[in-house]
Structure 1
């Protein structure tokens, strides 16, 4: 049983979590689809029982600043903290299900891990090994159980962003081939149930579609697996040539408001270089203040050509860094 008992952790978070107090969700056990593999044992650090994480365990009194950077070692994150005057609270890392992740890797991150778990292999979009049906029928259960064992061994609350951007046709779990939104919902619930059954209840599940620009026309509500198996809603959304954040996000937030009232994380944020970039960055903080449901954001800090197509970083010029630092202050970001 996952219990999401909310407590006030500041005005912004209290508003964002309004209406969720006392909710209890019963998560069903996964159907048995044993493929013969066995899960790797948890590391020796695993406790006999892992506490059930609550959203407030990873939140602060204002929006949390997170980063997705090329280097996530303590020294690199410390340089970000020094440059911005704000220490990132979340550190996002990506892992394919086939590659897995270890408790030691998670523990080494200088912040709360936001693990983007990707069910694919070799970067192939149309891959018959990784259709949603193959997740549902249990073909990859052993791999998920191994990851769940490591998450449980890590022991502390973390954010788990599973199969993100499912409304875009660029991943094998999206609307490609014979995949359907209903299968996505079923696959999500299957994986969450596997983690819960493995005792990895320290994972907080982040459902993270792409903003509607560039995605398929299917309404995002069709992909939503249900409040009982989601702890945070998320959004991938980059500023392209819009003048301000509202122009980037409004149409998607209008849809999302009709899907769920879960607290919201911008799971990937950045702004493409253009004449509008500095103004977009200046407007980000006031925009955060106007949208208290947003409890955190993760800025993409990977250089172009090294995991990033464009230079989305906030510090590609002195003017942009200054604008970003001012937005952190105006947005009441927890530093």
Structure 2
């Protein structure tokens, strides 16, 4: 783990679905639908506006209705996303909603290769009015950077095909679009899927990605939104991104993971990476992980993040990494700990046209 670029631990696997459902039953008002995406939630967690005519916050059909993948690819507004330690549990989504006064429309969570696909987690995201963003990490229990047993060569050559095919069939059976972020931050040196680790060689990452993608296509799991997600260049300056890119035919969104570690602005962290990416692709960009370390610069960094999103073409959303140190973060990234940062976050959300929910039936098809 590179201390200049990392600072995250993942949620415990297999959140108790029954417990989530019980908590959710108490928090149903937080999942109220909105046709405009700008509904305000007060600090007690209650909608400040009534539910639009024709929908009901207590109507599970209205809350869980999903459209085709195409409807989510180009949202009419910016996705406000969040990654919490127990995502996609109701309680953590409700806490973010109350703190931000906006309901997240994307929930990011993580799993390794010792688990099958959880249709329940994806459904729970949709029940809360959010697109599920699953970061799928090709390792199991160990977080060591060097794990030859999970080498890219083994993935590309078919050593894990039985697992991947089973996973893909489970995704297909769920019948809902899911954003899948496979083997993220590949340009760093802190994960086993780096081409610098695990006996990997240059070109292996693209081969592994394409192989995984082709297996999903072969079983008919075509509702996946494929998210290719490098780390900001600041943490991996000597690794060019283009040779790691699988190609536009294999990617739907390009994710960027960019954290502030004392910088004054988000722009200086993120913009160089986006400039590099736009030299070889114009796919929609999602800030797939972002946040700022605590300090006097944090409120200004946060305010600048929203200004950057607003002025940068082709950015469809962001995911704030809402983890504390106790939850494994190198820093406490939670936006609501510092009152000034919380105010900057709320003001920033107010400045954006946020994606509505449902995405609307007249979205691009």
Same fold (TM over 0.5): yes
Q: Structure 1 pair 224/181, CA: closer, same or farther in 2 (3 Å)?
A: farther
> Residue 235 of structure 2 aligns to a residue in which SS?
coil
- Counterpart in 2 of 1:213? 234
Given that 2:106 and 2:132 are in contact with CA atoms closer than 8 Å, whether structure 1 keeps it comes out as yes
After TM superposition, the structure 1 = structure 2 runs for residues 298-313 of structure 1, keeping only pairs within 5 Å, are: 298-313=319-334
In 1, Cα distance between equivalents of 2:68 and 2:102: 29
TM-superposed CA distance for 1:76, in Å, is 2.5
- Tell me the equivalent position of 1:120: 139
Q: Is the alpha carbon distance of 1:239 and 1:282 closer, same or farther for their aligned partners in structure 2, counting shifts above 3 Å?
A: same
Tell me if structure 2 keeps the 8 A contact 1:126–1:177: yes
Choose the corresponding residue for 1:170, options 184, 190, 202.
190
Mapped pair 1:204 → 2:228: no
Query: Within 2, Cα distance between the matches of 1:259 and 1:59?
Result: 20
C-alpha contact (below 8 Å) 1:64/1:89 kept by paired residues: yes
Counterpart of 2:118 in structure 1 is 102
Map Cα deviations across residues 166-200 of structure 1 (whole Å, 9 max, x no partner).
00011111121431341100100000011111111
Partner Cα separation in structure 2 for residue 100 and residue 237 of structure 1: 29
> Does residue 140 of the first structure (1) align with residue 155 of the second (2)?
no
Which sections of structure 2, spanning at least 5 residues, go unmatched?
1-35, 37-66, 357-365
What secondary structure, in the 3-state scheme, does the structure 2 residue paired with 1:77 have? Answer: helix
Q: List per-residue Cα deviations over 1:193-245 (Å, max 9, x = no partner).
A: 11111111111100000001121512111100100000001111101111111
Equivalent-residue separation in structure 1 for 2:79 and 2:321 (angstroms)? 14
Name the residue aligned to 2:109: 93
What TM-score does the superposition give when structure 2 sets the normalisation length? Answer: 0.75
Secondary structure, aligned partner of 1:167: coil
Deviations 1:279-329 (A, max 9, x none): 111222221111131101111011113131111121121111011000111
Contact 2:73 2:225 survives alignment (8 Å): no
Do 2:253 and 2:284's aligned partners in 1 also have CA atoms closer than 8 Å? yes
Residue 73 (structure 1) aligned with residue 95 (structure 2): no
Name the stretch that deviates more: 310-319 or 58-67: 58-67
**1:243 aligned counterpart, secondary structure:** coil
Distance 2:68 2:131 in 1: 16
- Matched residues in 1 for 2:116 and 2:166: separation? 8
Deviations 1:92-132 (A, max 9, x none): 11011222322122212232110100111222321121010
Distance 2:337 2:93 in 1: 17
**How far, CA to CA, are the matches of 1:58 and 1:258 in structure 2?**
21
Aligned to 2:75: 60
Q: 1:246 aligns with which of 263, 267, 290?
A: 267
Q: 2:207 aligns with which of 186, 193, 196?
A: 186
**Counterparts of 2:69 and 2:235 in 1: how far apart (Å)?**
34
Match runs of 1:9-28 below 5 Å? none
Q: Does structure 2 retain, via aligned residues, the 8 Å contact 1:285–1:332?
A: no
Q: Which moved more, 1:165-174 or 1:123-132?
A: 123-132
Contact 1:130 1:172 in 2 (8 A): yes
RMSD: 1.9
Aligned length: 286
Q: Compared with structure 1, are the counterparts of its residues 193 and 69 closer, same or farther at alpha carbon in structure 2 (3 Å cutoff)?
A: same
Equivalent position SS for 1:234: strand
Tell me the equivalent position of 2:347.
326
C-alpha distance after superposition, 1:25-62 (max 9, x if no partner) = xxxxxxxxxxxxxxxxxxxxxxxxxx9622x4255321
Deviation at 1:254, TM superposition (A): 1.3
Deviation beyond 6 Å, 4+ runs, structure 1: none
